[in-house]
Amino acid sequence: MSKNLVPPFRRLGSRRAILASGLALAASSLAGRVLAQAASSTGPLITRPIPHSGEQLPVVGLGTAVDFFLSAAAAQRGALKGVIDALIAGGGKLIDTASTYGNAETAIGDIVHDGNVRDRLFLATKIEVRAPKAGAEEFDRSLKRLRTDKVELLQLHNISRPNQSLAQLRDWKAGGRCRYIGITTTDARDYAAMEAITRREKPDFIQVDYSMGNRAAEKRVIPAAADAGAAVLTALPFGHASLFAAVRGKPLPDWAAEFDAASWGQLFLKFLIGNPNVTAVIPGTGNPQHMIDNLGAAHGRLPDAKQRERMAALLG
């Protein structure tokens, strides 16, 4: 998520409605919905290998920058539990968060601990660019909030200078406090730094803003990741909900069935997954039903290059 994050209460045009207390799904109902979605999907869940290890990662995960940002209310916490339950029930496991995402780490840590599902998840968090001591304290806080002694992926968040080092993160990786390390940006002004660090440091992951309506990362950032053997996570795959606003009131095109997209959300996500250099997309949601729908993009056929250009043309 960008360092210029728009506060949750100011976002407009989202498919995510404000969640009322009755929105959280009961476990049996949720399981039934996930099973129904899986039954209607084509083929098994799509996974992609993390290049530096070969470990397979489901191509649809969960972002938490907005919907998990403010999570103190019991009703909202119940809905967020439903989202994580839906992710796991649908075969997903990647949850991406950060130290700066409000109460997100605490909410995730509590839900995961209470559900005893830590071993079923791939947890990714981020620390800001700080002096070594401050960075260590920040990482310690993140682990405490997440109620775990290690994460799968630790990312240096909002990189901005090409000479920034991953040495401290590498030390933590060597010590078993994380299995992978990465870098992130969602600011095009920092793409040059992202490319330089990626080529020099060869991180395990990069995370960059990328959507059907924002393809700037295709020019140099994603190719640099491919050259370095870095996995690619795509932040803001719905473009701060701008993609849903662009197609509001429009029917899903019939030809979306050619690559098994059953909703606009699945079409937007399949556009990204159709890029073979993308490892996983991380759409954010606080709605369990949207999580189920998002996971539908991890099934069936994917669009080829020609189909992806036809998809992009929908935005004019």
Q: What is the DSSP string of 143-196?
A: HHHHTSS-EEEEEEES---TT---HHHHHHHHTTSEEEEEEEE--GGGHHHHHH
- The pLDDT value recorded for residue 44 is 94
- The pLDDT value recorded for residue 93 is 98
Residue keyed to tokens 């967020």: 80
What residue type is 300 in one-letter code?
G
Q: What is the pTM of this model?
A: 0.89
- The pLDDT value recorded for residue 252 is 98
Exposure b/e, 104-129, CB count within 10 A at least 16 = b: bbbbbbbbbeeeeeeeebbbbbbbee
Instruction: Identify the three-state secondary structure at position 127.
Output: strand
Element spanning 310, H or E = helix 305-312
Contact at 8 Å (CB) between 203 and 230?
yes
Domain ranges within the chain, ordered by starting residue: 46-315
Q: What is the spatial distance between Cα 3 and Cα 132, in angstroms, rounded to a whole number?
A: 20
Print pLDDT tens along the chain (316 aa). Answer: 444 343 333 333 345 433 333 333 444 466 556 555 655 566 899 999 999 999 999 999 999 998 898 765 666 788 999 999 999 999 999 999 999 999 999 999 999 999 999 999 999 999 999 999 999 999 999 999 999 999 999 999 999 999 999 999 999 999 999 999 999 999 999 999 999 999 999 999 999 999 999 999 999 999 999 999 999 999 999 998 899 999 999 999 999 999 999 999 999 999 999 999 999 999 999 999 999 999 999 999 999 999 999 999 999 7
Across the chain, how many H-helices and E-strands are there? 11, 10
State the average pLDDT for the chain.
89
- The pLDDT value recorded for residue 299 is 98
Element spanning 272, H or E = helix 264-273
Phi, psi of 240 (to 5 degrees): 55, 35
- The pLDDT value recorded for residue 32 is 58
DSSP string, 26-39: PHHHHHHHHHHHHH
CA atoms lying within 13 Å on the CB side of residue 82: 29
CATH entry 3.20.20.100 includes domain 46-315: yes
